[in-house]
Amino acid sequence: MNEISVKEASAKYLAGSHITPDMPMPEMDGINDLLKEDIKQYGVWLEQIVYNAVGNKLDAAEDYYDGGVKYMEFGRYKEAINMLETAINMKPVFPDAINTLGVCYTKKEEYEKAIEFYEKALGQSGDHAGFMLNIAISHFMMGNKGMAKQKYDEVILIDPVFAGKLDKVFGAAKASLAGSISKGPKLDISDDLEAELAAGSSKGLVELKDAPKDIEPQDIKKINFRKRRARSDNTVAITFARLGNYSMAIDYFKKAVENDMEELDYKVNLAVALYRMYKYDEAMGYYEEVKKAKPELVTQLDFIESRGEITPKFNKFD
């Protein structure tokens, strides 16, 4: 093998003698085209994520509701609102969807509009501590602290689990919404680009073509109210988790599990929330239960076995 001669190399490649030519800056039009293509690809990818999350079908109001929740988890509130409105048009008495629509407007900082939907959800469901708490949080974010405290007191009367957690609830809400506002430059998509993206959409999410048919009372399937309550409690818990208030999230995930022991998704959420509150033994209990019932979910939750050494991102909460 030939050795490299440092002396010879130094003679051929003198320091400073090799000048790298300046790289020309790409044209702005080219950058914009690349950015536009990236946004389109992200939109198509997200559509498929949502479509898979609803079981590759959009037939019932509940499917559109699930799709709206998934879009909300990704911070795509415009798409989430469209899906939730479709769900409500198909099923006008749908308090969970109406409440979630209010959450979207709270995230958009349109608090008065959010309160309208929370109150409408309450009108359909009766007293519901989670919905009422959302009203209290919206008033707090608007600066109506007296009204927020009044609504919070009403929440405690319905569900004492919230007692003594005023600072945590409002503090977490304020921190979440403040943290959602980027200090850096914000990308604004023009109306023209919005229209172009909509036109170029894969439309993987099937649109509702036929108007809902009139249904006779005898055709309506019996509703399992415990499962319905579990679904509602799970939605409220995810909202708390996304606010960073895992203590409240755990309370509601446990209620969801109690009302629907068969739904593993609630146990997955509870295990992650417990893990983030450093309750590793309890988290391991639910993890082992999920692992035994559905081994394919292990890869999503095996970090729990590390007992605090690993804390990965969890899409439902982060």
User: What are the DSSP calls for 257-284, one per residue?
Assistant: HHH-TT-HHHHHHHHHHHHHTT-HHHHH
As a whole number, the mean pLDDT across the chain is 76
pLDDT of residue 39: 67
| Residue 202, amino acid | S
For position 250, which CATH number holds?
1.25.40.10
Q: What is the mean pLDDT of residues 123-138?
A: 87
| Domain-embedded: residue 130 | no
Q: What's the CA gap between 153 and 160, in Å, rounded?
A: 10
pLDDT digits (tens, 9 = 90+) for 251-305: 888 988 998 888 888 998 899 888 888 888 898 888 888 888 888 877 778 888 8
| Domain-embedded: residue 17 | no
- Cα–chain-centroid distance for residue 3? 61
| Domain-embedded: residue 6 | no
Q: Is the pLDDT of residue 118 over 90?
A: yes
Backbone angles phi, psi at 228, to 5 degrees: -65, -45
pLDDT digits (tens, 9 = 90+) for 60-96: 888 899 888 888 888 889 999 999 999 999 999 999 9
| Domain-embedded: residue 264 | yes
Number of domains in the chain: 1
Distances (CA, A) of 171 to 120, 155, 165, 245, 277: 26, 17, 10, 9, 17
| Domain-embedded: residue 283 | yes
Domain of residue 310, residue span: 237-318
pLDDT of residue 186: 45
| Domain-embedded: residue 22 | no
pLDDT of residue 216: 55
| Domain-embedded: residue 310 | yes
Q: Which residues, 6 or more positions from 74, have their beta carbon under 8 angstroms from its beta carbon?
A: 46, 49
pLDDT of residue 129: 84
Q: Is the pLDDT of residue 105 over 60?
A: yes
User: What is the reported pTM?
Assistant: 0.54
